[in-house]
Structure 1
């Protein structure tokens, strides 16, 4: 009996000790929970630090490439072969240095099949495009008053060659699908879109059932194009074939069109057609955005002489895209013009030379004329 009592006592002692331990553990758990800080600050993740990024693109543009008879005769190397590369040799290092370079190919490059010709109905050899690409040109604007000089066939021939050599074009198109394909290039992380329009085609009507052949200046179309393209790119560049020939200052119509383009988000506007240089100017859009317009870049390579028709230039501007914690901004910085001149060497071969090497007085006059409306060297716009 004493043995049974002893076993019973031991069991009770063990149970009592176990209950005491569990109670102590619960008390400790309760204390720990009461010491935990449940405030929102203690459970929020630390904000991620946004590392600023910055991309720089130097954009350059040249004016009219208009191949008169004296130029294609000089470039001829055979009955149906030409070489225009020597005409660009001096400026090639400058164009190639830019991250992106644009040219206005004014005379259609329909090739020898259509007969090479000069004013008033131009048709140039394919080799003009070859020389432009070799010199560093990355895209050509093809909407101008000579676009239809050789009809639809001229445009199709030119496009076929551009595609063959891998030189992008904008302004005239082979079909609706081509016209509805936005011209966008990404350079150093910056997306750049291109548009091109002309005031007309020298009285040659654009076929009503094929409006895609040439982009005409049309207010509603340009608004739609800009509003759509701007949503896909960081920078929009518009080439405009406009104005009055041989006038050193823009017309009222040029200024009105330029303002409309800026109001709808064009960042850089490059003007062509007057065949002489017209000044550079900053414009402010209706939303406070600031853009730059070169009203005319004159002739870069042509057979025209005198009264400034043989003077052109390489326009350049730096585009800086910066992204940080505050969003993304686009800065247009340091617009500048390097004047050029069409001349001949001692063997009477045509080529483009820097104007300051030919005539320093003319160079100074051109620089003063082109920069007279530039009050600042840079502007910054928010693009997000």
Structure 2
């Protein structure tokens, strides 16, 4: 079973050549080419300092926190984010570290900013139990935002998430290394996807049957480490050889580099090992720096053979300000460094170089 969200085909992005035979009524497409863009951002980690900052007279409003980068999230055809803290709503009580629960309005703000799908498989998925997961998934459904990695029941888990843009079908999967010692309820393993290679391989095989491109979000690695560990690299190689096209890493809360992985068959997979914190209450030591990955996906049909490639990765470092007005605002790092922050103006060049050091 899979779910596909359709978007109308644009004649400006799909070029086709067709012949019409008098002996048959259908058109035969000899070739076409379509290109879309996909963006990904890191951890949305709503500490108490952040939701208190967003408090209004009637609820919460996180839109000002991301207003400065809204255009960067809206412009790509698809944008995915890592919703690190569960959106369980105020009815079960908001909470911060170590057991998080965030307001529904977080999802409202990111939907408004252009985020299409969120990954919710992480070490905090079960912080507030099954009720928070059910509340979150119900609210995502209510506002029309897709989610992946945590589910309400078995049927929900079996529904492969596929977003369709201009005839290119993108499937999404998501997994976490664990849940901070909180046991997954027996018989309710659907609540959160764990990194279990055999199960992952089965999911990947199913997703590849219904999609052109496969994107996998991985919650992995060591917190606050600027480089991936051996386990991350090994898992990335395994995912690549299973046919995953794009791997998006989360959890370290700092940026880790990007690279192309060459599969055993010679084809390529792109991985960003960690996108850092996008919006959080963490400060200093690179924890207030994240970024936006944008990459192009092209689907071509030549002589009735479909070929899909991912190419042209671009990275925009971001920074979470901490001022006395609206304390936590996400802004482009280049702008923040130039206007004066705790970092010098060289931080932008440092982070840009750090992220692309393993790229040709």
Gaps of 5+ in 2: 1-22, 338-344
* Alpha-carbon contact 1:265-1:289 (below 8 Å) kept: no
**2:302 counterpart of 1:302:** no
The ranges of structure 1 where at least 4 consecutive aligned residues each deviate by more than 4 angstroms after the TM superposition are none
Q: 2:46 aligns with which of 63, 67, 76?
A: 67
Corresponding pairs, count: 329
Q: 2:121 aligns with which of 118, 139, 143?
A: 143
- Determine the structure 2 residue equivalent to 1:23: none
**2:202 counterpart of 1:228:** no
What is the TM-score normalised by the length of structure 2? 0.89
* TM-superposition CA deviations, 1:97-123 (whole Å, max 9, x none): 000000000001100011111100000
* Alpha-carbon contact 1:100-1:138 (below 8 Å) kept: yes
Select the structure that is richer in strand: 2
- Determine the structure 2 residue equivalent to 1:111: 89
Q: 1:244 aligns with which of 222, 227, 241?
A: 222
- Determine the structure 1 residue equivalent to 2:6: none
Structure exhibiting the larger radius of gyration computed from Cα positions? 1
Deviation of the 1:49 alpha carbon: 7.4
* Alpha-carbon contact 2:65-2:326 (below 8 Å) kept: no
Secondary structure of the residue that 1:123 maps to in structure 2?
coil
- Mapping of 1:148-297 within 5 angstroms? 148-297=126-275
Structure with greater contact order relative to length (CA < 8 Å, sep ≥ 6): 2
- Determine the structure 1 residue equivalent to 2:34: 55
How far apart are the structure 1 equivalents of 2:240 and 2:325?
Answer: 46
Secondary structure of the residue that 1:76 maps to in structure 2?
coil
Q: 2:351 aligns with which of 362, 366, 371?
A: 366
**2:109 counterpart of 1:131:** yes
* Alpha-carbon contact 2:29-2:304 (below 8 Å) kept: no
- Determine the structure 1 residue equivalent to 2:292: 314
How far apart are the structure 1 equivalents of 2:200 and 2:326?
Answer: 44
Deviation of the 1:347 alpha carbon: 1.8
How far apart are the structure 2 equivalents of 1:49 and 1:167?
Answer: 36
- Determine the structure 1 residue equivalent to 2:67: 89
Select the structure that is richer in helix: 1
Secondary structure of the residue that 2:131 maps to in structure 1?
helix
Structure 1 vs Structure 2 CA RMSD = 1.5
- Determine the structure 2 residue equivalent to 1:334: 312
How far apart are the structure 1 equivalents of 2:265 and 2:73?
Answer: 33
* Alpha-carbon contact 2:262-2:269 (below 8 Å) kept: yes
* TM-superposition CA deviations, 1:148-168 (whole Å, max 9, x none): 000000100101110110000
